[in-house]
Structures are given as structure tokens and as C-alpha cells.
């Protein structure tokens, strides 16, 4: 029999249903794998007792013949999701030993459907980063290595722990959050599938807020179908988040495998950026050829404001972050540093509790929102956001069903290699993904090949609002053609 940790979610669901193994055995196999993989630093908190208790309850329901859709499926949860009774830190020192007294809506949906919590996974502090190097718990290591090299690579970010855990078989799937690429970029770096749903598809309630108009939760898994299975449970209307939409949640799993014949797929010419590695260019052409072979029609399209998405993002996201993160003041939760007076207490607590990248973004956000600069920076960026969204709308209005682009401008890089001297160098990682957040669209990263050094590369599919189904159908075509990619175990 295959190792239990190597199963897909669909395969595990089948095995559990036919009682080939129990949910407790499945959870145990993962807990053991997690113990052996601590060198990856993917988990910031393992919850073995809770995992076994949940698995036991799953076994009881399976025994009664009443399994829920995710019954007994062991998952990792990004530490941005509040989990009741389980420490939640957002990868920051400032939250200290914060133990929520409530559960995020998305994770509550997973437990409602029978999933099992293995633990909380690492992320860049407050999800601000593209390499998982800004976490207060230290960097996460990518299970992938360059051929013939021991150099530790980043798993991408901000959901680096989620990506590393799923790729290294330390969970069958994971949750992530994506504000500028934080699900799709790490999925690409780790050779797995990741989806950022349409803004409003998943409730943001109970997720630590970074940039509220851009943040969206989504799933990671090792296949397109597994990602679709998780997506169906995570999505859905929530009265506690007024930006969550009241639309029926489709059967995404059924969408994976649907024909893509006759679909019109846009190839945005502005994504052919200067200095794009030849391997990425080749991968993109290969992806287009696969979709064409499956009966889709490829059309070159133009999204003229693409190059402004990243600079506009670095106004909008820090502005919203500076406002959202004002709540960390040492009064209601988290750490407190004593000061001369209350203002001194705030200033010292925040200087001590926030890391370098978070402090820098709060300050940028404070500046662009300050009197005299608000119109020049923030309002202008929001106008440009309107133009970015309009570019997509015009293409969709001309009958384009989805777009195909590379997911990232490079494969995974080494720890400490980027952004040390110039933060912009790190920000450029999100050049292909950030447009999707700015326009509120769904995006799917699907592994599509390995580069010359043996590292995974991915393609991105961008969809019309609330049409995640088309992305799952197209993603399945890419996966069927490209195959799946598993790192060799060295840990």
C-alpha cells in the first residue's frame, strides 16, 4: 500500500470510506512525518492531541456510515487563521501567546465537514513577505533543492509553511491567505496547487487582517482535484463578513475534469516582461500548447495597466495595513512593553513586537494616508486600481473565459539571497500575481514543469469573477499534461 502521507485527499477519502485504514491511523502517520521534518520549520505549533481526538470522532462517524465531505482528512492551518483554544500568532512576536476564544469562519467550515487539524503553519509576519523569511519563528525551508546542492531554498511566502507542509507530505492540504500572491507564489515554489478565490468567495472573519480589500483565503493541495475539494468546504456566505457574497457554492470537484473545448484563453502580452528567463517563457508556451491540444482557443490580449499594479499595490496594501495593525497596542492582547506614559507604552510595544518589514510597511502606509499626501498617493492608487480592473473587464467582455500567465518570474531562491539591501527586489516576486488581487479575481497556480536545476515552475490561470470552476477545468488539463512533482526526501 502507498504510504498514507502520500495519498491525495480524494484517495484518502476513498480509503477511509472503504475502511482500508482509519482516520486515527491517517492522522498518526502525519504526526510522525511532522516530527521527522522539524528541520523544515513548516509548523509553528503541532496539535497532536487535538488531531487524534478529531480523527477519533471522524472514525466514529465513518463507522455509523455518516461521513462528512472532508471526514478524517488531516490539514494544516496557516497561523493567520484564529483557531479557538489554539495559539495564533500571525508569525509575529506582538501577539505573544494569543489564544483565540473564537474560530475563523473558513477553518470552522473545515471542521464542520470533518477535517482534522494537524497544527498551525508558519508564515511571513502578518503575511507581509514573499519568502517566509520575515516570520518571528524563523524561515521555512523548501523541501525542494537544486540538483546536486544542499543550499536551503525558500518556499515562497507569505504562506510558506502551508506550501512546505503540503509538498513534503506533512499534511494532505492546507489553508492559506493571499493578498498579493501569498498562496500562488509559494504553491509555485513548492510544486503544488494553490488557489486564490474571487474576493468575497471566502469569509475573512477570524483571519488576521492585513489589507482588507485584497485579503482572501484559499486552499493548497497536491492536485487540482484536491484543491477543488477543499475549496468547496472553505467557500460560502458568512453574515459576519459583509464583503462575503451570498452566492451558491458550486461543486468544484465536478468542474475539475470538465471539457475546455471551445474556451477562449487570453495570453496577456504585458506579462512578457523584460529579462524573463527563457525557461519561464518556454513553460508558458508549453502551457498554451496543452490548452490548445485540449480544444481551447488561445488569443493574445492586452492588459495595458499591468506594470502599474505592483507600485499601486505598495500604496494600497501598506495603507490598509497601517490602519488594520493599529489594534496591536499592548492593551487588549499580545505583549506589552512598559513606557513613560501610555504613548510611550504604545511606541515601545510596537517597536519591540513588530519585525522590520512590518514596521516599514506601517510607516509607508501612515505616510501615504497622512494629511497632504492622501490624494497624491492613496486616491491615485485607487484610481489606477479601477483601470487595472477595467483592463480585465474589457477582455472578459470580448468573450475571454480565462487568462494564462506564468505564476512567478523565477523558481525558488536561496534563503537570504533576495531583498537584503533593497526591499523592491523581494516585492518583484509578485509581479504576475498582484494584478489578480487588485482586480479581485480568482487565480490558480498549477505546477507545470521543472527548471534546469530541477526546481518546480508553475503557470497561473486567471478567471472571471466567481468563475473558479473554469480555472479548475483548465488546471486539470495542465496537470494531466504536466504530471505531478514530488521532492526527494532529504530531511
- Give the binding range for other proteins (CB under 8 A) out of 28-36, 257-265, 377-385, 403-411: 377-385
With contacts defined by CB under 8 A, name the span among 194-202, 284-292, 409-417, 444-452 that binds other proteins.
194-202
Asked if the peptide bond before residue 477 counts as cis, ω within 30 degrees of 0, the response is no
- Residues in 437-456 at the binding interface with other proteins, rule: CB under 8 A: 438-440
Candidate list 108, 381, 471, 474; residue touching other proteins; CB under 8 A: 381
Please report which residue ranges of 19-98 form alpha helices under DSSP H. Answer: 23-36, 48-63
**Rounded least distance, CB 381 to other proteins, Å:** 7
Rg of the chain, C-alpha, whole Å = 21
| The one among 11, 48, 52, 213 contacting other proteins by CB under 8 A | 213
Q: Does 391 contact other proteins by CB under 8 A? A: no
Rounded to 10 deg, the angle between the 23-36 and 48-63 helix axes is 160
Of 90, 86, 167, which is closest to residue 132 (Cα–Cα)? 90
Closest to other proteins by CB, 282 vs 383, is 383
CB 268 within 8 A of CB 405: yes
Nearer to other proteins, 288 or 428 (CB): 428
Site membership for other proteins, residue 212 (CB under 8 A) = no
Grid cell digits, residue 281: 517563457
* DSSP bridge partners of 446: 459
According to the binding rule CB under 8 A, does residue 199 interact with other proteins? yes
Exactly one of 92, 135, 158, 322 is catalytic; which is it? 158
Question: Nearer to other proteins by C-beta: 32 or 331?
Answer: 331
- For the segment 317-356, give every residue that binds other proteins (CB under 8 A): 322, 326, 329-336, 338-339, 341-348, 350-351, 354
Under rule CB under 8 A, residue 422 binds other proteins: yes
Q: What are the residues facing 445 on neighbouring strands?
A: 194, 460
What 3-state DSSP class applies to 299? strand
Residues 452-481 that bind other proteins (CB under 8 A): 465
Cβ neighbour number for residue 247 with a 10 Å cutoff:
13
Quick one: DSSP state of residue 307?
G
Q: Given 22, 58, 164, 182, which residue is catalytic? A: 182
Q: How far is the CB of 180 from other proteins (least distance, A)?
A: 14
Which of residues 385, 401, 418, 464 is near other proteins by CB under 8 A? 385
Three-state secondary-structure class, residue 217: strand
| Active-site residue, selected from the candidate residues 78, 120, 196, 418 | 78
Q: Which of 293, 424, 489, 491 binds other proteins (CB under 8 A)?
A: 424
354: exposed, middle or buried (Cβ count in 10 Å: 0-12, 13-18, 19+): buried
Q: Are 248 and 233 spatial neighbours (Cβ–Cβ below 8 Å)?
A: no
Between 258 and 366, whose beta carbon lies closer to other proteins?
Answer: 366
282 is catalytic: no
Across 145-184, b (16+ Cβ under 10 Å) vs e yields: bbeeeeeebbbbbbbbbbbbbbbbbbbbbbbbbbbbbbbb
Would residue 158 show up in a list of annotated catalytic residues for this protein?
Answer: yes
Residues 6+ apart with CB under 8 A from 68: 61, 112, 113, 114
Residue 293 sits in the site that holds other proteins (CB under 8 A)? no
Using CB under 8 A as the binding rule, whether residue 93 contacts other proteins is answered as: no
Q: Return the residue of 32, 60, 289, 363 that touches other proteins, per CB under 8 A.
A: 363
Using CA atoms, how far apart are residues 52 and 29, in angstroms rounded to an integer? 11
Residue of 250, 389, 394, 414 that binds other proteins (CB under 8 A): 389
For residue 207, list its beta bridge partners.
81
Q: Which is nearer to other proteins, 106 or 165 (CB)?
A: 106
120 catalytic, yes or no?
Answer: no
Catalytic positions: 78, 158, 182
Amino acid at each position: 500500500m502507498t504510504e498514507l502521507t502520500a495519498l491525495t485527499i480524494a484517495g484518502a477519502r476513498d480509503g477511509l470510506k472503504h475502511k482500508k485504514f482509519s482516520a486515527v491511523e491517517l492522522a498518526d502517520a502525519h504526526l510522525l512525518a511532522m516530527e521527522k521534518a522539524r528541520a523544515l520549520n513548516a509548523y509553528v505549533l503541532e496539535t497532536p492531541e487535538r488531531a487524534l481526538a478529531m480523527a477519533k470522532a471522524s472514525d466514529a462517524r465513518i463507522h455509523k456510515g455518516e461521513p462528512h465531505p472532508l471526514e478524517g482528512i488531516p490539514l494544516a492551518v496557516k497561523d493567520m487563521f484564529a483557531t479557538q483554544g489554539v495559539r495564533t500568532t500571525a508569525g509575529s512576536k506582538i501577539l505573544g501567546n494569543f489564544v483565540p476564544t473564537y474560530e475563523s469562519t473558513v477553518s470552522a467550515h473545515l471542521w464542520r465537514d470533518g477535517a482534522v487539524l494537524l497544527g498551525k503553519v508558519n508564515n511571513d509576519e502578518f503575511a507581509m513577505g514573499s519568502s517566509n523569511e520575515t516570520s518571528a519563528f524563523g524561515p521555512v525551508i523548501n523541501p525542494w533543492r537544486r540538483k546536486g546542492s544542499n543550499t536551503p531554498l525558500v518556499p515562497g511566502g507569505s504562506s510558506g509553511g502551508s506550501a512546505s507542509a503540503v509538498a513534503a507530505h506533512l499534511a494532505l492540504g492546507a489553508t492559506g491567505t493571499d493578498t498579493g500572491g501569498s498562496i500562488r507564489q509559494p504553491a509555485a515554489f513548492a510544486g503544488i496547487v494553490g488557489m486564490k478565490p474571487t474576493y468575497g468567495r471566502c469569509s475573512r472573519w477570524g483571519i488576521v487582517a492585513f489589507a482588507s480589500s485584497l485579503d482572501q483565503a484559499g486552499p493548497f493541495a497536491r492536485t487540482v482535484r484536491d484543491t477543488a475539494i477543499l475549496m468547496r468546504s472553505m467557500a460560502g456566505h458568512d453574515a459576519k463578513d459583509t464583503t462575503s457574497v451570498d452566492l451558491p457554492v458550486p461543486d468544484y470537484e465536478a468542474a475539475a475534469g470538465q471539457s475546455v473545448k471551445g474556451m477562449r484563453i487570453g495570453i496577456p502580452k504585458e506579462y512578457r516582461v523584460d529579462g524573463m528567463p527563457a525557461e519561464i517563457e518556454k513553460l508558458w508556451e508549453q502551457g498554451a500548447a496543452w490548452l490548445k491540444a485540449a480544444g481551447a482557443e488561445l488569443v493574445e490580449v492586452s492588459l495595458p495597466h499591468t506594470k502599474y499594479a505592483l507600485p499601486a499595490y505598495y500604496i494600497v496594501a501598506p495603507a490598509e495595513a497601517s490602519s488594520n495593525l493599529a489594534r496591536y497596542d499592548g492593551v487588549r492582547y499580545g505583549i506589552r512593553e512598559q513606557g513613560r506614559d501610555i504613548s510611550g507604552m504604545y511606541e515601545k510595544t510596537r517597536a519591540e513586537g513588530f519585525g522590520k518589514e512590518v514596521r516599514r510597511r506601517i510607516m509607508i502606509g501612515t505616510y501615504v494616508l497622512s494629511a497632504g499626501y492622501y490624494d497624491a498617493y492613496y486616491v491615485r492608487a485607487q484610481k489606477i486600481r479601477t483601470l487595472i480592473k477595467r483592463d480585465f473587464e474589457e477582455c472578459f467582455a470580448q468573450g475571454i473565459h480565462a487568462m494564462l500567465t506564468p505564476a512567478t518570474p523565477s523558481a525558488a531562491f536561496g534563503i537570504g539571497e533576495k531583498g537584503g539591501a533593497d526591499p523592491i527586489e523581494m516585492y518583484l516576486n509578485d509581479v504576475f500575481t498582484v494584478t489578480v488581487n487588485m482586480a479581485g479575481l480568482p487565480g490558480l497556480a498549477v505546477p507545470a514543469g521543472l527548471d534546469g536545476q530541477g526546481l518546480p515552475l508553475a503557470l497561473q490561470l486567471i478567471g472571471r469573477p466567481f468563475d473558479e470552476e473554469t480555472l479548475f477545468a483548465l488546471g486539470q488539463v495542465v496537470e494531466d499534461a504536466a504530471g505531478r512533482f514530488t521532492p526527494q526526501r532529504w530531511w
